[in-house]
Amino acid sequence: MKYFLCVLGMVLIIEGLPYFLFPEKIKTYLLKIVALPEATLRFTGISVIIVGLLLLYLGRL
């Protein structure tokens, strides 16, 4: 559980950095995301999930 909390903390730090460092660019980027078709967002989402699962699997070897 301690390891999980450390990893979760690191993920939150990495996720928060762009919002802290480049708030004006994030707003522009989010407007572009809203304009994307749902199919593109779903494909991107599943691709990231698969890569994440692959990295978890390789990290556990």
Domain span at residue 42?
2-59
What pLDDT, on the 0 to 100 scale, is given for residue 59? 86
Categorize the per-residue pLDDT at 19 as very low, low, confident or very high, splitting at 50, 70 and 90: very high
Q: What is the pLDDT of residue 60?
A: 84
Number of domains the chain is built from: 1
Neighbours of 26 (CB within 10 A): 13
Q: Is residue 49 within a helix (H) or strand (E), and if so which, with residue range?
A: helix 38-59
Q: What percent of the chain lies above the pLDDT cut of 70?
A: 100
CA distances from 13 to 16, 18, 49 (A): 5, 10, 19
27-38 pLDDT, tens digit each = 999 999 999 999
Does pLDDT of 15 surpass 90? yes
State the DSSP code for 36.
S
